[in-house]
Homo-oligomer: A and B are copies of this chain.
Amino acid sequence: MRGRNHKKISTALNQQPCFDSAQQPLADFKVGVDNVIFSVDTTQNRLLVLLVMRQQEPFLNYWSLPGTLVRQGESLEDAAYRIMAEKIRVNNLYLEQLYTFGGPNRDPREEVSSYGVRYLSVSYFALVRFEEAELIADKVTGIAWYPVKQVPQLAFDHNEILTYGHRRLRNKLEYSPVAFEVLPETFTLNDLYQLYTTVLGENFADYSNFRARLLKLGFLCDTGIKVSRGAGRPASLYKFDAQAFAPFKDKPLVFI
């Protein structure tokens, strides 16, 4: 029974917590959306993240994650897509919310503003196909793919956000078919394997087992087309068959 919950009920009342709109001053917020946009350059086996050079204070001339402030009538996700559309042209893309960073003093503007407005950042995680991604580079805005291993010091707490996004990417890759969102339409099994090693490190099965497992699952179909890359036997190009994958949807599937 839950009988003994009544011992010390009373004295929390002086704080009168719940309806603090009258008692305690509430914080006012501007809400920003910052995107961690990854892609994988399969030709060089590098995991890349999209950075933009800041054109204004604070953190003028620092690299940062592409972000924006949320406008009136705009949902968080709308804002996330808007950033994408401003920086990059892609056909395929995977996007999901990552985390919300909202401590006080995470943005220097808070101190400048006399009204104590705080800046909160809802971060989104995106994955795009490197080959298809066309950066929208106007003259004033620096924008570039950075290898995640070489990102410099970023504006605000963006290094922390990036770290968080990177962890999420690794997890996603292990149990969901996001890999096929970043690969080109057709790819060799070695491309796929390289993608996994590039993102996850070398901590899993060797190529032949990886290959056997994936093929047995049956959602990769051989196009029959062969492609030769330098010396060695030509490889088959495969395609991801979303139809055939459907039954695995939502099942605890492991790709490692």
Residues in chain A within 8 A of chain B (CB atoms): 1-15, 17-21, 24-31, 52, 55-56, 68-77, 81-87, 89, 97, 99-100, 102-104, 109, 113, 116-117, 120, 122, 130, 133-138, 140-141, 145, 174, 252, 254, 256
Contacts and interface: CB of A to CB of B under 8 A. Distances in A.
Nearest to A28: B28
B9 A68 contact: no
B68 A17 contact: yes
A30 to B, nearest CB: 6
A122 B3 CA distance: 21
Nearest to A17: B86
Given A76-B103, A104-B75, A86 B141 contact: no
B30 A29 contact: yes
Given A3-B87, A20-B69, 17 more contacts: A2-B81, A2-B145, A5-B82, A5-B85, A9-B55, A11-B140, A17-B86, A18-B68, A20-B71, A24-B71, A26-B30, A26-B70, A27-B31, A27-B71, A28-B28, A31-B120, A72-B104
Contacts of A74: 27, 104
Contacts of A120: 29, 31, 76, 120
B71 A113 contact: no
A198 B86 CA distance: 47
Contacts of A145: 2
B55 A18 contact: yes
A12 B99 contact: no
A178 B74 CA distance: 37
Contacts of A72: 24-27, 104, 116
A25 B113 contact: no
A136 B4 CA distance: 10
Q: How many copies does the complex hold?
A: 2
Given A5-B82, A82-B5, A102-B76, A13 B138 contact: yes
Main secondary structure of the interface of A (DSSP, over half): mixed
B27 A73 contact: yes
Contact of A3 (B69, B75, B86, B100): B86
Contacts of A55: 9, 18-19
B29 A140 contact: no
Contact of A9 (B8, B12, B85, B136): B136
B56 A75 contact: no
Query: Which of A17, A74, A83, A135 has most chain B Cβ within 10 Å?
Result: A17
